[in-house]
C-alpha cells in the first residue's frame, strides 16, 4: 500500500458519504467503490467497513458506504449511480446467522451492530442477498465479497443453522471474487488492477483471494493441494474431517499452498493467505483520519457495539493460540502483527483530545491482551512449521514470550496527558502471563478496573484437549498470582472466568466436574457460553462428524437440545430457575450424592422457594421480573411474538 495520491485534507474530517447528497457535497460525479455492509456505519478502526473504506480513500479512490440497505429490492444499490470499479460486499463484523440466532437456534432479541440494537435490519446469509442485489442493480459491475461471513465460508463448510454442508459461498453468492482475511492489501490490489483496466481473470493470482474455476478451464499451475470434493465431504464425514485438517495446515502464509476444491464440474480456488502486515503498514492504517463516531444520520440512537469499543485501541492482530472453537486464526491468521508504540500513543492523544473523553482508555489490546510483539524467534523454522497452536499442548520453545514491550507500552500510555486510567479489557492468555510475574503485577496494580476477563473454558482434561486450551492448573496459578498482586497494590479485585457448555468432548460427567470445581473455588459466573459451531472451526468439524480431524479419534458430541440445556444449567447450578434441569442432569448421571443438604452437594433436596406439593417447572433461562423483548421473525408480517 502506497502513500495517498491526492489531497484528502478537506475530506478527512467527515465520514465517507452514505447518500447521493453527501456524494454531491464532495463534488464527485461518480463513485469508484460502493461498500455494502450489514452493520450500521461507524467510522472507527474497530469496524471493518471503516478501515477498508479509509484505506481505499487514502489510495485516492472515491468510496461510498451503503449501510444496512433494504435487501427486498435492488433500488438502494442504485442510489450512488453505477460504481466505476466494483461493489465490495460484506455481511458485517459478524456472520449474519450468528448475529441473528442463539446456540439453541432461537432468534436473538437485539443486534449490537444496529442503531438502538434494532433487529431485522439485515437478512439471513447477508452476503448472498447483497451480492445478488448488486448484480441486479448494475449487471457487469464486479462484485467482490469479503468480511467474516465470506472469509469463513470460502470452502465447503458445515452450516449449523441448516444442519447441512453448504457449498463454498462464492458459488451461491454469485460474487466474482472473495477476499478472505482482514483484506486491506488484497482489496487494494484488486481495485488498483480494475482501475488499470484488468479483467476479472487477471486478478486470480492475488494472494488472499478466492475465485471460481469453470468446468472447461484448466487446473491452476504451481504447488496445489486438491481437497476432497463438495460431493465427498457432504456425504462422507471422514472426508469432511480430512478436508478440515488440510485447510488448517495450509493457513500460514510462508508455507501455505493453493487449495482447490471441486463442486461437481466447477472448482473453487483459494490462493495462499495475504502476507502479514508490517509494523509500518499497521501504523499507516490505524493512523488514517477516522472520526471515531457513528455516522450523524443515527442521531441520538446508540450503536451498542460502538459503545463498547469507543475509547479502546487495537494494538495488534492475529492469534497463535489455536483454540479449536475460535474463528480468529482462520480470519486474522496466527502471525502477530503489532503496531509501533509511537502509533498507539498518537491514537491515545487523538482520543484524549476529544471533548467527551472522560479520561479512561477502555481497552488496550486486541484478539488477546498479551500477545503484543510475540512471534517465532526463528523465522526460517516458521516457514516450514505446520503446528496449529504455539501454546498447546505446551508453549513452543521458539516462541518469544517476553512481556517487556507490552509493559513499556502500558507505562507510556499511563503517562499521556489527559489520561487518568488505561484498562485492559481483552482476555488475558494465562499460560503466557505465567511467564511474566512483572506483567501480572503491572496488570493488577494499574490496568484492572476491579474485574479482569480470563477464559479457562473448562476443567476437564479431555475437554480442554479438544479445545486446545491449557490445563485448569494454569488458571489457578494465575488467579493466585493476580490476587497476590492485587493485595500488594491495596486493591480488592476479581477475575471474571468464562466457561463453556456443550463443546465436543464434553458430557454430563465432565460438566458435573466443572460445577464441582466452581463450587470448590467459589466462582459463580453470571454469563456462560454455549458452544456454537461456526463455519470452518475445528470444533465444528468435531460437532458435525464426531471425529477429531487432527488425531482421527472419535469424539463424543452433545447435540440434543435437552442435553445442551442440562449442560448449560450445570454452569449456574445455584440459580433457582435451573434447579429442575440440574436435578435431571445429576439423576441421569447417577450422581444422587450431590443432591441434598450436605456441604458437598450441588443442590438441596427440595427446590428453593417451592412450596410443598407445587409441581416443578422447566427452567426458561429468563430472570424473573424482566420482560421478554420481541424477537425478529423474518417470515412474519409482524415482529411481535405470538401469545
Q: Rounded distance, CA 390 to CA 277, Å? A: 20
- The pLDDT score that the predictor gives to residue 638 is 53
Rounded CA gap, 127 and 39, in Å? 12
Burial class, 635, CB count within 10 angstroms (exposed 0-12 / middle 13-18 / buried 19+): exposed
Burial of 54: CB neighbours in 10 Å, binned 0-12, 13-18, 19+: buried
Q: Considering only 212-216, 341-345, 475-479, which range has the smallest mean pLDDT?
A: 212-216
Beta partners for residue 179, in sequence order: 209
Whole-angstrom distance, CA of residue 109 vs CA of residue 641: 11
Contact 13, 291 (CB under 8 A): yes
> In which band, very low, low, confident or very high, does the pLDDT at 616 lie, cut at 50, 70 and 90?
very low
Q: How far apart are CA 88 and CA 56, in angstroms?
A: 11
Give residue-wise pLDDT tens across range 227-250. 999 999 999 999 999 999 999 999
What gap in Å lies between CA 143 and CA 85, rounded to an integer? 9
The pLDDT, as a whole number, for residue 219 is: 83
Q: Does the pLDDT of residue 93 top 50, yes or no? A: yes
pLDDT tens for 148-165 read 999 999 999 999 999 999
pLDDT at 484: 96
Query: In this model, does residue 4 exceed pLDDT 60?
Result: no
User: What is the maximum span of the chain, computed from C-alpha positions, in angstroms?
Assistant: 80
For the chain, list the domains and their CATH numbers: 20-212 (3.40.50)
Q: Going by C-beta distance under 8 Å and a sequence separation of 6 or more, which residues neighbour residue 198?
A: none
C-alpha distance from residue 143 to each of 134, 178, 368, 628 (Å): 7, 9, 33, 40
Cα angle 502-425-37, degrees, rounded to a multiple of 5 = 75
Q: Decide if pLDDT at 614 tops 90.
A: no
Place of cell 502471525: 335
Most confident of 9-18, 73-82, 518-527, 613-622: 73-82
Least confident of 9-18, 91-100, 310-319, 524-533: 9-18
Burial class (CB in 10 A: 0-12, 13-18, 19+), 615: exposed
Among 97-101, 218-222, 300-304, which is the least confidently predicted range?
A: 218-222
Q: Are strands 312-314 and 363-365 parallel, antiparallel or unpaired?
A: parallel
pLDDT grade, residue 628 (50/70/90)?
Answer: very low
What pLDDT, on a 0 to 100 scale, did the predictor assign at position 623?
34
pLDDT digits (tens, 9 = 90+) for 569-587: 999 999 999 999 999 999 9
Q: What percent of the chain has pLDDT over 90?
A: 86
Listed in sequence order, the residues at least 6 apart from 339 whose beta carbon sits closer than 8 Å to its beta carbon are 279, 282, 283, 286, 314, 315, 316
For 481-517, give the DSSP string: HHHHHHHHTT---EEEEEEEES-TT--HHHHHHHHHH
pLDDT at 490 over 90: yes
For residue 384, is pLDDT > 70? yes
| Confidence category of residue 216, pLDDT binned at 50, 70, 90 | confident
Give me the pLDDT at residue 619, please: 36
Q: For residues 124 and 96, is the Cβ–Cβ distance under 8 A?
A: yes
Least confident of 373-387, 414-428, 600-614: 600-614
Mean pLDDT in residue range 554-579: 95
pLDDT value, residue 167: 98
Report how far residue 37's alpha carbon sits from residue 260's, in angstroms, rounded to the nearest whole number. 28
Grid cell 447477508 is found at 126
pLDDT of residue 380: 87
Of residues 607 and 264, the one with the higher pLDDT is 264
pLDDT at 228: 98
Q: Which residue has the higher pLDDT, 183 or 624?
A: 183
With a cut of 80, say whether residue 96 has pLDDT above it: yes
Please give the mean pLDDT across all residues of the chain.
Answer: 91
pLDDT tops 90 at residue 122 = yes
Q: What is the DSSP string of 136-156?
A: HHSTTS-EEEEHHHHHHTSSS
pTM of this prediction?
A: 0.91
Mean pLDDT of the region 97-126: 96
Helical H segments across 143-278, by residue range: 147-152, 169-173, 184-195, 230-235, 237-249
Residue 622 pLDDT grade (very low, low, confident, very high; cuts 50, 70, 90): very low
Listed in sequence order, the residues at least 6 apart from 272 whose beta carbon sits closer than 8 Å to its beta carbon are 207, 208, 250, 253, 256, 257, 258
Which class for 496: exposed (0-12), middle (13-18), buried (19 or more C-beta within 10 A)? middle
Q: For the chain, what percent of residues have pLDDT higher than 70?
A: 93
Residue 103 and residue 564 in contact, taking contact as beta carbons nearer than 8 Å? yes
For cell 508453549, the residue is 395
526-550: average pLDDT: 95
Q: Is the pLDDT of residue 11 over 50?
A: no
Amino acid at each position: 500500500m502506497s502513500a495517498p495520491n491526492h489531497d484528502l485534507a478537506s475530506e478527512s474530517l467527515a465520514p465517507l458519504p452514505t447518500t447521493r447528497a453527501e456524494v454531491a457535497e464532495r463534488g464527485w460525479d461518480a463513485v469508484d467503490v460502493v461498500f455494502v455492509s450489514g452493520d450500521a456505519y461507524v467510522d472507527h478502526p474497530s469496524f471493518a467497513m471503516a478501515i477498508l473504506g479509509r484505506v481505499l480513500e487514502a489510495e485516492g479512490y472515491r468510496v461510498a458506504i451503503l449501510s444496512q440497505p433494504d435487501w427486498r429490492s435492488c433500488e438502494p444499490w442504485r442510489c450512488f449511480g453505477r460504481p466505476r470499479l466494483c461493489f465490495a460486499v460484506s455481511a458485517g463484523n459478524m456472520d449474519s446467522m450468528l448475529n441473528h440466532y442463539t446456540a439453541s437456534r432461537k432468534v436473538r432479541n437485539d443486534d449490537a451492530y444496529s442503531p438502538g440494537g434494532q433487529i431485522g435490519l439485515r437478512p439471513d446469509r447477508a452476503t448472498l442477498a447483497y451480492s445478488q442485489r448488486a448484480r441486479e442493480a448494475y449487471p457487469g459491475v464486479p462484485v467482490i465479497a469479503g468480511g467474516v461471513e465470506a472469509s469463513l465460508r470460502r470452502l465447503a463448510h458445515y452450516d449449523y443453522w441448516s444442519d447441512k454442508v453448504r457449498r463454498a459461498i462464492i458459488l451461491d453468492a454469485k460474487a466474482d471474487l472473495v477476499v478472505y482475511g482482514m483484506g486491506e492489501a488484497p482489496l487494494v490490489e484488486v481495485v488498483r488492477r480494475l482501475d488499470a483496466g484488468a479483467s476479472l481473470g487477471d486478478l486470480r493470482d492475488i494472494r488472499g483471494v478466492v475465485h471460481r474455476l469453470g468446468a472447461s478451464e484448466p487446473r491452476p499451475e504451481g504447488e496445489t493441494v486438491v481437497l476432497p470434493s463438495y460431493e465427498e465431504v457432504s456425504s462422507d464425514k471422514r472426508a469432511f474431517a480430512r478436508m478440515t485438517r488440510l485447510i488448517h495446515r495450509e493457513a500460514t502464509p510462508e508455507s501455505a499452498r493453493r487449495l482447490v476444491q471441486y463442486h461437481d464440474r466447477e472448482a473453487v480456488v483459494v490462493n495462499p493467505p495475504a502476507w502479514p502486515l508490517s509494523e509500518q503498514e499497521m501504523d499507516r492504517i490505524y493512523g488514517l483520519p477516522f472520526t471515531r463516531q457513528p455516522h450523524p444520520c443515527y442521531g441520538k440512537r446508540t450503536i451498542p457495539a460502538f459503545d463498547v469499543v469507543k475509547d479502546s485501541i487495537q494494538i495488534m492482530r492475529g492469534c497463535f493460540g489455536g483454540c479449536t472453537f475460535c474463528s480468529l486464526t482462520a480470519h486474522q491468521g496466527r502471525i502477530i502483527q503489532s503496531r509501533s508504540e509511537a502509533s498507539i500513543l498518537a491514537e491515545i492523544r487523538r482520543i484524549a483530545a476529544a471533548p467527551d473523553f472522560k479520561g479512561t482508555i477502555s481497552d488496550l489490546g486486541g484478539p488477546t491482551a498479551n500477545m503484543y510483539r510475540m512471534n517465532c524467534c526463528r523465522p526460517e523454522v516458521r516457514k516450514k512449521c505446520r503446528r496449529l497452536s504455539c501454546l498447546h499442548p505446551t508453549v513452543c520453545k521458539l516462541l518469544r514470550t517476553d512481556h517487556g514491550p507490552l509493559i513499556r507500552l502500558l507505562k507510556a500510555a499511563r503517562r499521556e496527558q489527559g489520561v487518568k486510567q488505561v484498562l485492559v479489557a481483552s482476555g488475558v492468555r494465562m499460560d503466557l502471563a505465567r511467564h511474566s510475574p512483572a506483567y501480572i503485577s503491572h496488570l493488577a496494580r494499574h490496568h484492572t478496573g476491579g474485574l479482569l476477563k480470563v477464559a479457562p473454558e473448562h476443567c476437564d482434561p479431555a475437554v480442554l484437549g479438544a479445545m486446545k486450551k491449557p490445563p485448569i492448573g494454569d488458571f489457578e496459578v494465575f488467579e493466585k498470582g493476580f490476587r497476590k498482586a492485587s493485595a500488594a497494590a491495596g486493591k480488592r479485585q476479581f477475575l471474571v472466568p468464562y466457561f463453556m457448555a456443550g463443546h465436543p468432548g464434553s458430557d454430563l460427567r465432565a460438566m458435573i466436574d466443572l460445577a464441582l470445581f466452581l463450587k470448590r473455588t467459589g466462582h459463580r459466573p453470571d454469563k456462560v457460553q454455549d458452544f456454537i459451531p461456526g463455519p470452518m472451526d475445528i470444533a465444528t468439524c468435531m460437532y458435525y462428524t464426531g471425529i477429531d480431524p487432527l488425531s482421527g479419534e472419535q469424539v463424543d458430541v452433545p447435540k440434543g437440545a435437552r442435553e445442551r440445556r442440562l449442560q448449560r444449567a450445570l454452569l449456574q447450578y445455584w440459580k433457582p430457575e435451573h434447579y429442575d434441569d440440574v436435578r435431571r442432569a445429576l439423576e441421569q448421571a447417577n450422581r444422587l450424592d450431590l443432591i441434598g443438604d450436605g456441604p458437598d452437594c450441588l443442590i438441596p433436596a427440595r427446590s428453593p422457594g417451592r412450596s410443598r406439593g407445587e409441581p416443578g417447572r422447566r427452567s426458561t433461562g429468563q430472570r424473573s421480573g424482566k420482560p421478554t423483548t420481541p424477537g425478529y421473525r423474518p417470515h412474519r408480517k409482524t415482529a411481535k411474538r405470538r401469545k
